[in-house]
Amino acid sequence: MATGSKKLVLLALTANVGIAIIKAIAFAISGSSAMLAESFHSVADSTNQLFLLRGEAASRLAPNARHPFGRGKEAYFWSFMVAVFLFVGGAIFALIEGYRRVVNPHESEAGILFSLVVLGVAAIFESMVAFRPALKDFNKARAGRSLVTTIRESTDTSLIVVLFEDSAAVLGLF
């Protein structure tokens, strides 16, 4: 992982932890299941960044008897684990929350405006702190190539994961 990519992952981690805390507080105040889902989503995003940092750290370890060729490819494994975690974690949460809503269908109307304000602030924060720097670094890495070519040829999986994760997060908040 390039130094800039590590910085992006740390920025995204900081943003997602802060947003998760704010959304959890919003859930506690409003009782909104959407805020609960959003807070879990931000926790999942934070976990993804931890996976990426783990892969980056492991990929820099020197070769040893167990790994005579080093562990350079481990960054790719942990990027893959991000995808697995997102799909499995999201599916489990959706099933649990869906069951809970079928059993107890009442949704409180209190705090909806507050929840919307929190989502708006989260979208702005996510855009400014995580998405914009990732997009800037990605465009620098493009060097005139097409989007698809850049993604296909990139060896910096963290940059690609952070960019697409933040893109989805920002679009999902709108």
| 19 token code pair | 């947003």
| 44 token code pair | 């999942």
CATH number assigned to the domain comprising residue 116: 1.20.1510
Model confidence band, residue 24 (pLDDT cutoffs 50, 70, 90): very high
Tens-digit pLDDT profile for residues 93-119:
778 877 887 887 766 666 778 888 888
Prediction pTM value:
0.68
- Mean pLDDT, the chain, integer: 82
**d(C-alpha 98, C-alpha 158), whole Å:** 32
Domain count, the chain: 1
Per-residue pLDDT, 130: 79
Domain of residue 24, residue span: 3-173
> Is pLDDT of 74 > 70?
yes
Neighbouring residues of 146: CB distance < 8 A, sequence distance ≥ 6: none
